[in-house]
Amino acid sequence: MEFVINDFAKSIDLQSINTRFQLFHIDYSKPIQVTFFTSRRLFTERLIDEGANPPPWLLAYQDQQGIYALDPDLWDPETSSGSLEEVIAHEAAHIVLQSMKTEIPLWIYEGFAMLVAGQIPLDDELGPLLTNPYSLDYESEDLYYTIAQAMVVLSAQINEFELVRRILEVDDYVNDSLFGFEAMREAVKR
């Protein structure tokens, strides 16, 4: 994993990000450009220019060209959980998965990034999965929490490394025996 970072970059522990990707045997050869924005206004404007409607808590996003992040000095400690490295690893994981797959359900797209970035407390009891993750969209309340719950359910069946490997291998998620709509419906019932 190679990152190209602009002038505003704070000291990022790139090694810790690379370690996450190595842990899952994920190799991505294209350099990833990381651009920091020195104001929330510039960050938001850039997103709106791209046709997005960014929520006020957003810290970073990506496209196939790279990662765009708000200067970490501007992050609100009240609403932003996680380190800069986690956020960059999360966005980089999106870039990797998108480079390999086309039809990715939202919960798998986000869950994969959260797993690779180490943002899911796999050892914790997150409570029973109450919602089929296929019903989630970006407006859903508890979106990331529900995805974390779904990933905990799956990682209890196989482990997190196998889980990440399967996400990279499977093409038809919706009909898959592990990730499929029916499988997740069963997981909710349990």
Using CA atoms, how far apart are residues 152 and 154, in angstroms rounded to an integer? 5
Is residue 8 a contact partner of residue 71, using CB atoms and an 8 Å limit? yes
Nearest to 88 by CA among 111, 66, 120: 66
Checking phi first, is residue 118 left (phi over 0); if not, alpha (psi -120 to 50) or beta? left
Comparing CB distances to Zn ion, the nearer of 92 and 113 is: 113
What's the min distance (Å) between Cβ of 69 and Zn ion?
Answer: 12
Contact residues for Zn ion (CB under 5 A)?
Answer: 110, 113
* Residue number with CB closer to Zn ion (32 or 128): 32
Shortest Cβ 110–Zn ion spacing (Å): 5
Residue number with CB closer to Zn ion (50 or 175)? 50
- The C-alpha atoms of residue 123 and residue 101 are separated, in whole angstroms, by 29
For residue 72, the SS3 value is helix
Cβ proximity to Zn ion: between 5 and 88 the closer is 88
CB of 62 to Zn ion, least distance (A): 8
N-terminal to C-terminal alpha carbon distance within the chain: 39
Any bridge partners for residue 62, and if so which?
Answer: 67
For residues 113 and 151, which CB has a smaller minimum distance to Zn ion in the complex? 113
